[in-house]
Structure 1
Amino acid sequence: MGRDLSALFDPTSVAVVGASDDPAKYGHAVASQALRAPGRRPVHLVNRRGGTVLGRAAATGLADIGEPVDLVVIAVPGAGFETAVDDALACGARAIVGITAGFAETGPAGLARQQAIAARVREAGAVLVGPNCLGITDNTTELYLASDRFAPGGIALLSQSGNLALELQLRCAPHGLGFSRFVSLGNQADVTLVDLVEDAARHQPTRAIAVYAEDFGDGRAFAEAAAAAGKPVVLLTAGRGSASARSAQSHTGALTTSADVVAAACRDAGVELVATPREMAVVLAALDGGRRATGHRTAVCTDGGGHGAIAADAAESAGLCVPELGPADQDRLRTLLWAQSAVGNPVDLAGMGEQNPHSYGDTVGALLASDDIDSVLLTGYFGGYSAAKGGLGGPASDSGTMGGGNALAAGELETARQMVSHATATAKPLVVQSMFPEAPSCRTLVDGGIPVFAATEDAARALTAMTAARTAGPAGVCPLPPAAPPLRDSGYHGIRALLSAAGVPFPAAREITDEAGLRAAADEFPGPYVLKALHLLHKSDAGGVALGLPDREALVAAYREMAGRLGAASYSVEAMADPTDGVELIVGVNRDPRFGPVAMAGLGGVLTEALHDVAFSLAPVPAARGERLLTGLRTSALLRGVRGRPAVDVAAAAAAIERITEVAAAHPEIAELEVNPLLVRPDGVLALDARAVLA
């Protein structure tokens, strides 16, 4: 059960401290909005000069109101903020919205002030949004405490940017989307993004949660809350392209960026990650109706070959499949269309829509009914017949079998209603791209729950959001294991021992410091041998690894040469693994300051950084998810066997990923842990090298 935010979203009374008649002040905008629903709850305006504000008597302070106030909005200069908070708590406020800026965003001194204020609020049992925020709105309770209006609807918008929130409003409006709530996150001194996601998940009128965040705070907790929300969460964030803070003492550290971490957290949690406000509106429109495809097989329907080809390319680029229709489906379509129509997929009406707009609805209905199709994308001219002045002045102004432009327009409206009926009868998604998205027929589709987009790429992106079968599998963030006793030996053999105890297999090995120890090690297990110089960064690059030494004499010779050249304090003598039919992988874990341990798995060996074929997930990684990470690699064909090579044991590799990431997650003192290479063969896996970097 999350925090009780009822006083924040449905208070019994409200006071605006800093209310003003000056339109240039934020206290004016908030007070004006607060007075939109005076009958819902008492609204008190407070201005230290008293008098009237917006035609109402203003109290000079909260104490002058003479009764408790449930929620207080504070929009005063920074110097008076602490006093206003203390006054709010003294008058019984259970919730405070801090508009005032000048705290953590200004530096250490501001942060200290902010922390002290938040501590006082929590000690009083109240909650604080902000400071440095732009207010809140809850359309479901008629609570209007932000400077702008938000059209009512089912989206809870949690944003660190006011202007982006306004843009999202504008982009959502054509799709008929509105907002249940808006919360400006501000500095999150007390109420956090996680608190708000959890509360929005419990809020029945909210159907989807839209987030713009630059500072996640506890990113892992955000991912956990989003995974548990039970409703769509769509995230827009900035700054993902820069490299995260890291020690760069391993491949894992060198390859992991902020973008990788955020994307992995979103994939694990089932969050739709978007790059722009436009894409966010597209995804929200797609998810609003609740339809989900169970597979990636998409049918493209068009009345023009060009639009069909472009839409098919866009769908495939977005990760969908546009398969050729089977004989039964093609025969069915031939009974609906004329001879020159293409029925393979894309399905091209080839001008029949100009003669009979109902051909659109008939074709879409047949495609939605196909057992071999999971979703349908209609693209092109549809909408042009009912658009003002006959669309582009073409087909709708010509006479045809429907009796001219007016008849074509009427027919198009009828077929729009027909498509709504077809879509309502199935859970399969139907998405439309139209050159005329504002045409009456397209508005009919939108009103019927069918998303319509002006851009082909938007329609394809919408379908990917509506496709439930994802390569990453079911959403969920694995809980961190209990902390293990701190690691005492972070050297190479200490890490080997730690991972071996967890069930990760290694070849036989012994650490030595002189030639006598080397000869003793050679007596413990037969060759061929591997010799490694320890405590070197990237041993292979430094010439600190000798492979395939066939016998004792070759081992001794390699040791003498390496010791003379490198002078390492110690070395490792190991049994040489048989690389025949094997594939080298890398498995690493990097501890992110916001999201905790993040795992990486991919193609390993000495070319790891050059190939950069890796995938990420929050650690620990269950074996089933680890297997999906591996099979989703660009080079996954190597694991299945190519050019006569046998398939390797991916299940064993996935089990090793689970064990390695579990160890790293259980040791918070480990900043980076890496096994590279992890040799996976047809008969199992062997970890051939490992290293750790302590925090």
Structure 2
Amino acid sequence: MSRDLTTLFDPKSVAIIGATDDTSKYGNWIAIRALRGARPVHLVNPRRSTVLGRPTVPDLRTLGEPVDLAVIAVNASRFEDAVDDALVAGVTALVGISAGLGEAGAEGRIRQERLAERIRGAGASLLGPNCLGVLDHTTGLELTSNDLPAGRVALISQSGNIALEIAELGADHGVGFSRFASLGNQADLEVADLVEACALHEGTDAIAVYAEDFRDGRRFIAAATEAARLGKPVVLLAVGRGSASARGAASHTGAMVSSGVVVEAACRAAGVELVSTPTQLVHLLQGLALPRTVRGRAVAVFADGGGQASVASDCVEDAGMAVEEFSSTLRVAVAADLPPAAGLSNPVDVAGGGEQDIGCFPRVLATLTGSAEVDTVVMTGYFGGYGGYSPELGAGELEAAHRIAEVVGAGDKPVVVQTMNHRSAAADILRAARVPVYRSIEDAVWTLRRIVARSVPAGAAPLPPAAAPLIDTGYMQARRVLAEAGLPFVEAVEVTSREQLLATSPALRYPLVLKALGDEHKSDRGGVVLGLPDAGAVLAAYDGLQVRLAPPAVSVEEMADLTGAVELIVGGRWDPRFGPVVLVGLGGVYTEVLRDVRCALGPLDAVAARRLLLDLRGAPLLTGARGRPPIDLDAAADVVACLSTFAAAHPEIAEIECNPVAAGPSGAVCLDARIVLADQQDPSAELKPEQKEQD
């Protein structure tokens, strides 16, 4: 259930616990900004009668009037007392600036968890601790140590310095912020709470998030999916794709970082735009501010220089979009506003037309955006610099910028602008009208590609009820429980002696396969013997396994018909933040070599599983490349869906895998199975395609 954060972003009154005249402390910086606003601000300092020329109180209990929100900026040793004082005084929202709690080790985490429970029990909420504060430009609330430019993007950040870098980049690129919440240690309020609140905020058009730890990842997905449904896209800058960044995040916030593979899967489910740097985040926010969507991949390149027209066209096509030649009708319409030497076929090159008639830019742009042949326009070149030639041309350029803004605002197609004069007055006019402007063409086209690729998020499917926990997960037991769940396997029996082998193998259909059990890498060690045509061959193979490996048991299995089959890996793991994660890929002994895998949050239905399979680079092998018969995709998708549902009902499973799954033209069958429980797992294990048991 969503939490009411009204008093966090729009309190009637505020208290600064730890307010001080010491200009080196947060209690000073935040108090100064708090006093700029119109709401009552109470300064709390037991050692000073005045701070910043204003009277103080020693504590909130002696204040004698209600306070909605308290900012706590005291040493960690005094933090607990400050929380108690605020709760007794009836405060319902707390912002913990203080560091030295959950990020400071086991003892600090215990103190922090105890405090968070007390705060929630009192019906209050805590932002932080170890955070930079909170801000809401729409309500005039400034409780941060630094200024952020005003705008319509909500910024939620677990790192104070990353937030400040994003704010600086935003100021350079015309991106401002409606709200800012510094997550810090997320002792109480977590990223999902803030996304939910900002998605419902009328002053917010998009939500930017920097996160190192998602606490409840499924809640984050639900919140981000709902934000996208409300037209408020979420852009996420997340760390943990590399081991060093994950260590760094854990060291300074005490965060447990989900692997990059899992975060990517979560973002796909929720329609979250995942980026790698603060610069990418701000560039994408510019593009997402466009109040319209892209209907297709047909791009018109509109330039005031032949070189830039060619470079931009190459960038667009390299990004998977099309710069298609215009029809004669559109070429004639464009030519009406340009000199005879202009390029008209796409890209459009004004060929000096800007100096002769700066008004050609909005007129040509109106023609392009009004054409059914064009889905979006990339305008590239020198626009914004013409004022350097003459005052008259400069004035005309500003007028042209206003008219471009009107054209874009009146139309229904996105326009992305790249100009070497991106900090000009003309560029500022465009940005103010929510037309994204970039310094480099690669940034402009990268942003456009991301906008074109956006789709409606499906969200994450609900988890099924938990099943009875598994206890024994050996090879044969794993096969049995998965077969009972609906996964198809070939017939098999386990034997521990020659006598059992002789007694049971005649009931199976030849040819047979022998697998030495108890060896995770049995195929590499010669522990899998294929194609045994009769009882004599089976007995000889069994004796050979005993000599070479002396396995405690052997699985005797019917050999699947692999004619026209493609070997797949189907597996997954349980992520402590996001729950079940499903992996599919090209499998068999070359899984690790090919590394062609895709992941998604589980559970998946057959439709979603089919989409995941078709997203593989090797998907043409599944659909009939170079005369191969196509595999039964429905059967393969059923295997993925069935395994994902089983795994989702068993949170005690750390890893699960069927590799290979033989997917052929007439069905799919699992040829191996492996289940590892959480208490059996190597704590350093990652979700990646490793070479496991193979046939």
Distance 1:366 1:688, change over 3 A: farther
1:331-363 per-residue CA deviation (whole Å, 9 max, x = no partner) reads: 655666566544454344444444444444344
Task: Give distance in 1, aligned partners of 2:549 and 2:342.
Answer: 74
**In the alignment, what sits opposite 2:407?**
422
Task: Give distance in 2, aligned partners of 1:469 and 1:47.
Answer: 51
Distance 1:509 1:213, change over 3 A: same
Residue 290 of structure 2 contacts residue 414 of structure 2 at CA under 8 Å; is this kept in 1?
A: no
Q: Which moved more, 1:585-594 or 1:490-499?
A: 490-499
Residue 509 of structure 1 contacts residue 573 of structure 1 at CA under 8 Å; is this kept in 2?
A: yes
Other structure's SS at 1:140 match = coil
Q: Does 1:438 align with 2:426?
A: no
The one of 531, 543, 560 aligned to 1:560: 543
Q: Does 1:577 align with 2:578?
A: no
**In the alignment, what sits opposite 1:456?**
441
The one of 544, 557, 572 aligned to 1:589: 572
Q: State the Cα distance separating 1:257 from its structure 2 match.
A: 8.3
Distance 1:73 1:503, change over 3 A: same
Task: Give distance in 2, aligned partners of 1:642 and 1:302.
Answer: 41
**Letter matched to residue 638 of structure 1:** L
Distance 1:60 1:536, change over 3 A: same
The one of 104, 109, 112 aligned to 2:110: 112
| Count of paired positions | 665
Distance 1:484 1:459, change over 3 A: same
**Letter matched to residue 445 of structure 2:** A
Distance 1:271 1:146, change over 3 A: same
The one of 159, 181, 184 aligned to 1:183: 181
Task: Give distance in 2, aligned partners of 1:469 and 1:453.
Answer: 20
**Letter matched to residue 461 of structure 1:** W
> Identity of aligned pairs, percent?
51
The one of 623, 632, 656 aligned to 2:615: 632
**Letter matched to residue 494 of structure 1:** Q
Other structure's SS at 1:16 match = strand
Residue 213 of structure 2 contacts residue 258 of structure 2 at CA under 8 Å; is this kept in 1?
A: no
TM-score by length of 2: 0.90
Task: Give distance in 1, aligned partners of 2:500 and 2:332.
Answer: 78
Other structure's SS at 2:77 match = helix
1:626-685 per-residue CA deviation (whole Å, 9 max, x = no partner) reads: 222222222222222222212222233222211111111111111100111112222221
Distance 1:343 1:689, change over 3 A: farther
Q: State the Cα distance separating 1:54 from its structure 2 match.
A: 1.0
Distance 1:25 1:631, change over 3 A: same
Task: Give distance in 1, aligned partners of 2:475 and 2:245.
Answer: 26
**Letter matched to residue 24 of structure 2:** A
**In the alignment, what sits opposite 2:385?**
384
**In the alignment, what sits opposite 1:73?**
71
Q: State the Cα distance separating 1:528 from its structure 2 match.
A: 2.1
Residue 268 of structure 2 contacts residue 457 of structure 2 at CA under 8 Å; is this kept in 1?
A: no
* Mapping 1:246-265, distance limit 5 Å: 258-265=259-266
**Letter matched to residue 382 of structure 2:** Y
Other structure's SS at 1:154 match = strand
**In the alignment, what sits opposite 2:497?**
514
Task: Give distance in 1, aligned partners of 2:373 and 2:543.
Answer: 67
**In the alignment, what sits opposite 2:10?**
10
TM-score by length of 1: 0.90
Task: Give distance in 2, aligned partners of 1:144 and 1:635.
Answer: 53
Other structure's SS at 2:71 match = strand
Residue 675 of structure 1 contacts residue 688 of structure 1 at CA under 8 Å; is this kept in 2?
A: yes
Distance 1:469 1:323, change over 3 A: farther
Task: Give distance in 1, aligned partners of 2:617 and 2:355.
Answer: 44
Distance 1:463 1:104, change over 3 A: same
**In the alignment, what sits opposite 2:61?**
63
Other structure's SS at 1:607 match = helix
Residue 155 of structure 2 contacts residue 209 of structure 2 at CA under 8 Å; is this kept in 1?
A: yes
Other structure's SS at 1:484 match = coil
Cα RMSD of the aligned pairs, angstroms, is 2.5
Distance 1:213 1:469, change over 3 A: closer
Distance 1:166 1:257, change over 3 A: closer
Q: State the Cα distance separating 1:614 from its structure 2 match.
A: 0.8
Task: Give distance in 2, aligned partners of 1:492 and 1:343.
Answer: 67
Residue 19 of structure 2 contacts residue 45 of structure 2 at CA under 8 Å; is this kept in 1?
A: yes
* Mapping 1:311-390, distance limit 5 Å: 311-325=312-326, 329=330, 333=334, 341-386=342-387, 389-390=388-389
Other structure's SS at 1:236 match = strand
**In the alignment, what sits opposite 1:281?**
282
Task: Give distance in 1, aligned partners of 2:245 and 2:573.
Answer: 10
Q: Which moved more, 1:230-239 or 1:605-614?
A: 230-239
Task: Give distance in 2, aligned partners of 1:329 and 1:678.
Answer: 53
**In the alignment, what sits opposite 1:169?**
167
Task: Give distance in 1, aligned partners of 2:564 and 2:331.
Answer: 45
**In the alignment, what sits opposite 1:123?**
121
* Mapping 1:225-236, distance limit 5 Å: 225-229=223-227, 230=230, 231-236=232-237
**In the alignment, what sits opposite 1:203?**
201
**In the alignment, what sits opposite 1:269?**
270
Other structure's SS at 2:385 match = coil
**In the alignment, what sits opposite 1:291?**
292
Other structure's SS at 1:211 match = strand
Residue 242 of structure 1 contacts residue 257 of structure 1 at CA under 8 Å; is this kept in 2?
A: no
**In the alignment, what sits opposite 1:494?**
477
Residue 243 of structure 1 contacts residue 258 of structure 1 at CA under 8 Å; is this kept in 2?
A: no
Q: Which moved more, 1:507-516 or 1:613-622?
A: 507-516
Residue 227 of structure 1 contacts residue 270 of structure 1 at CA under 8 Å; is this kept in 2?
A: yes
Task: Give distance in 1, aligned partners of 2:630 and 2:413.
Answer: 36
**Letter matched to residue 375 of structure 2:** D
Residue 47 of structure 1 contacts residue 58 of structure 1 at CA under 8 Å; is this kept in 2?
A: yes
Q: State the Cα distance separating 1:48 from its structure 2 match.
A: 0.9
1:85-127 per-residue CA deviation (whole Å, 9 max, x = no partner) reads: 1111111111111111111111111112112222221222111
Distance 1:340 1:622, change over 3 A: farther
**In the alignment, what sits opposite 2:43?**
45
Q: State the Cα distance separating 1:2 from its structure 2 match.
A: 0.6
Q: State the Cα distance separating 1:276 from its structure 2 match.
A: 1.1
**In the alignment, what sits opposite 2:24?**
24
Q: State the Cα distance separating 1:33 from its structure 2 match.
A: 1.0
1:229-257 per-residue CA deviation (whole Å, 9 max, x = no partner) reads: 23111111223212999xxxxxxxxxx98
Distance 1:407 1:195, change over 3 A: same
Residue 243 of structure 1 contacts residue 257 of structure 1 at CA under 8 Å; is this kept in 2?
A: no
1:176-230 per-residue CA deviation (whole Å, 9 max, x = no partner) reads: 3221211111211111122111111222212111111122222232222211223
**Letter matched to residue 579 of structure 2:** G
Q: State the Cα distance separating 1:581 from its structure 2 match.
A: 1.7
**In the alignment, what sits opposite 1:537?**
520
Task: Give distance in 1, aligned partners of 2:325 and 2:664.
Answer: 37
**Letter matched to residue 434 of structure 1:** T
Residue 20 of structure 1 contacts residue 53 of structure 1 at CA under 8 Å; is this kept in 2?
A: yes
Other structure's SS at 1:283 match = helix
Residue 291 of structure 1 contacts residue 466 of structure 1 at CA under 8 Å; is this kept in 2?
A: no
Q: Which moved more, 1:484-493 or 1:409-418?
A: 409-418
Q: Which moved more, 1:665-674 or 1:208-217?
A: 208-217
**Letter matched to residue 188 of structure 2:** D
Q: State the Cα distance separating 1:538 from its structure 2 match.
A: 2.4
Q: State the Cα distance separating 1:325 from its structure 2 match.
A: 4.7
Distance 1:351 1:541, change over 3 A: farther
Residue 299 of structure 2 contacts residue 322 of structure 2 at CA under 8 Å; is this kept in 1?
A: yes
Residue 73 of structure 2 contacts residue 98 of structure 2 at CA under 8 Å; is this kept in 1?
A: yes
1:498-547 per-residue CA deviation (whole Å, 9 max, x = no partner) reads: 22233322222222222333344432232222221122112211211122
Q: State the Cα distance separating 1:604 from its structure 2 match.
A: 0.8
Q: Does 1:242 align with 2:227?
A: no
Task: Give distance in 2, aligned partners of 1:29 and 1:507.
Answer: 70
**In the alignment, what sits opposite 1:248?**
none
Task: Give distance in 2, aligned partners of 1:141 and 1:257.
Answer: 35
Residue 240 of structure 2 contacts residue 258 of structure 2 at CA under 8 Å; is this kept in 1?
A: no
**In the alignment, what sits opposite 1:483?**
466
Task: Give distance in 1, aligned partners of 2:670 and 2:361.
Answer: 58
Distance 1:369 1:666, change over 3 A: same
**In the alignment, what sits opposite 1:689?**
672
**Letter matched to residue 81 of structure 1:** F
Which segments of 5 or more consecutive residues in structure 1 lack a partner in the other structure? Answer: 246-255, 391-404
Residue 624 of structure 1 contacts residue 654 of structure 1 at CA under 8 Å; is this kept in 2?
A: yes
Other structure's SS at 2:386 match = coil
